[in-house]
Amino acid sequence: MTGLKWPPKKPHDILDYAVDWSGTLRGETIDGSAFHVPHGLVKLSEKADKTRTQLWVTGGEDGHYYVIANRICTSGGRVVEEHITLSVIDDIFPQQESS
């Protein structure tokens, strides 16, 4: 996995996002996971199961892009990190001006 990008969110949305690690694990499972969320976003919670990690997040400033890091430790002792881009757009579907 490289260059993951999550769908955009609005600043006040509270949304969950996930990373599917099954293609990276090669038969191993996730023993631990941590998300690093940059200043401006608020991490509400995070969890992991055997092949997937999940982050609940809110906040962000309109027009900004944030890079979130997710580092996992596997049952085989490997440590793997993925970076995910999340954009914050206040008006995802701007209204067109009428004439």
CA distance 12 to 47: 21
| Token pair belonging to 34 | 């941590």
Q: pLDDT tens digits for 53-98?
A: 999 999 999 999 999 999 999 999 999 999 999 999 987 566 666 6
pLDDT of residue 17: 98
Per domain, the residue ranges of the chain are 4-88
Confidence (pTM): 0.87
Token pair 């599917």 in the structure block, residue: 20
DSSP conformation class of 8: P
Maximum separation of any 2 CA atoms in the chain, in Å: 62
Q: State whether CATH 2.60.40.10 applies to domain 4-88.
A: yes
- Residue 1, pLDDT above cutoff 60: no
Q: SS3 string of 59-99?
A: ECCCCEEEEEEEEEEECCCCEEEEEEEEEECCCCCCCCCCC
Q: Mean of the pLDDT values across residues 20-46?
A: 97
